[in-house]
Amino acid sequence: MNILDYIRERGDLSFKADPFNEVDNLVFAQMIYADFEKYLGDGQRMTIGELGKAYFDDFGEDRDISRIFNKDGVMTLKEAYKSPRYKDLPVYNFVSRLDKETTEQFTAVMVDLPDRTTVVCFKGTDEHMIGWKEDCFLSYKDIVGQTYAVNYINQHCSIFRQYRILGHSKGGNLALYSALRCNPLLRMRIKDIYSDDGPGLRPGSFKEKEFDRIKDRYHLIVPEKDGVGTIYEMAKRKTIARIDTRNIIEAHSMMRWQIKANHIQHADGDSYQTDRTRQALVQFLKDTTPKEREIFTEEVFKAFDDAKITTVSELAHGGLPIILKVAKELSEMDTVAKSTAMKLTKAFSTSITSDLYKSMSEKKDAFFNKMPFGKKEEKKDVVEQDQK
């Protein structure tokens, strides 16, 4: 069962009957990926039901969203806006910024719950290359979005309510950072902080005593095959979600996280600790300096700029001409950037090769176990054991 199934099966339960839980956190963190700017961009206040109706009156519920980058957010809104659990919840204080000059992609919104708490939801990275470049910044410096997140909390929150601050991917990092750095009086009103596969904070960018103030309220949720929440992992405890894919990119999508009733299904911790992709990313961060990562990031995104690529969709759907154009630009990177690229390629190629070998071995074993001679061999072993 995934997020959509959860809304269909439990969406008739009020928050009084079934209080806010970790899966509701996923719903809000996913829903914000739908584009609300047209409907909430001028300080408007709407319920989720009204927001969804306005959205689908414009685009139609039968709209083909297969090629839309934020399709998971749209599908979540489509289920939630008619659901008794969510449809009457007020949505407001929507803020969205996208600035190439300062390299910032920031979106936040608030949702009031019936228990007199308010959800503050920060959006993760969307399809704009600006946001992806900002993500890379997190590995070597603070970002503008973090400052905006703190200002958002200080400006819009009140000492008379309690708050649940959450977000997916970069949004999870913003939730953590804003809770750490906001007004101390408001920090006391934060009930929970949820980071859904979001990076932690760089070592040296905060003091342990600062984190100690919020660590018991900080909930990190990561997929068992992880490549994002791995970065500067610092949670006192975490939930490792079972997933229905072996693909690390798909694993980052909350839609692939398995749910049972009103909680996330827990995966075996060993599958997380031994995941080769996770280990490769950790090793890459150890093998490179912040300066190397900075030079590499600037060179890579300069190549995208020179190739006139502004969104992930343009890169994904551009075909061979775009690939060749980007490859040409990347070939002209400076020596430091190329060296860093080699370290990254080596780390992940080792991971991919290992995963491929493991997958082929599992398929080979499954094939032979289904064969008649395989079953006879198994039966013979059992007989020999009985004789012993």
Closest to 259 (Cα-Cα) out of 277, 273, 236, 239 = 239
What is the band of 358 on the pLDDT scale with cuts at 50, 70, 90?
low
What single-letter DSSP state applies at residue 254? G
Architecture of the 3-274 domain: 3-Layer(aba) Sandwich (3.40)
Q: Which of 2-11, 22-31, 116-125, 227-236 has the lowest mean pLDDT?
A: 227-236
Q: Measuring CA to CA, how many Å separate 196 from each of 23, 29, 128, 321?
A: 11, 8, 20, 36
pLDDT value of position 350: 57
Residues linked to residue 223 through DSSP beta bridges, in sequence order: 241
Q: Measuring CA to CA, how many Å separate 315 from each of 104, 303, 311, 326?
A: 20, 12, 7, 9
Closest to 151 (Cα-Cα) out of 188, 176, 183 = 183
Asked whether the CA dihedral 178, 281, 270, 72 is positive or negative, the reply is positive
Q: Is the pLDDT of residue 193 over 90?
A: yes
| CA–CA dist 141, 138 (Å, integer) | 6
Nearby residues of 45 by Cβ (< 8 Å), 6 or more positions away: 90, 91, 92
pTM of the predicted structure, to 2 decimals: 0.85
What is the band of 117 on the pLDDT scale with cuts at 50, 70, 90?
very high
Q: Measuring CA to CA, how many Å separate 372 from each of 350, 368, 369, 385?
A: 36, 8, 8, 20
Q: Is the pLDDT of residue 316 over 70?
A: no
What average pLDDT score do residues 252-277 get?
Answer: 85
| CA–CA dist 156, 194 (Å, integer) | 19
What average pLDDT score do residues 72-101 get?
Answer: 94
Give the three-state DSSP class for 146: helix
For residue 307 the two structure tokens come to 């190739």
What angle do the packed helices 290-306 and 335-370 form, to 10 degrees? Answer: 90
User: Mind listing the pLDDT tens digit for each residue in 19-64?
Assistant: 999 999 999 999 999 988 889 988 899 999 999 999 999 988 777 6
Name the one residue in this structure whose structure tokens are 């101390």. Answer: 184
Q: Which of 148-162, 259-273, 323-337, 371-385 has the lowest mean pLDDT?
A: 371-385
What single-letter DSSP state applies at residue 361? H
Closest to 188 (Cα-Cα) out of 209, 213, 224 = 213
What average pLDDT score do residues 254-274 get?
Answer: 87
For residue 229 the two structure tokens come to 């929440």
Domain boundaries, the chain: 3-274, 287-358
pLDDT value of position 153: 98
What is the band of 362 on the pLDDT scale with cuts at 50, 70, 90?
low
Within 10 A of 316 (CB to CB), how many other CB atoms are there? 12
Phi/psi for 164 (5° steps) reads -115, 115
Q: Is the pLDDT of residue 378 over 90?
A: no
For residue 52 the two structure tokens come to 């969804």
Asked whether the CA dihedral 302, 172, 202, 273 is positive or negative, the reply is negative
Dihedral-angle region of residue 308 (phi above 0 means left; psi in -120 to 50 means alpha; beta otherwise)? left
| Alpha helices (runs of H) in the chain, residue ranges in sequence order | 3-10, 22-31, 37-40, 48-59, 71-80, 129-137, 144-156, 170-181, 184-187, 208-212, 248-251, 269-273, 276-287, 290-306, 312-317, 319-330, 335-370, 372-387
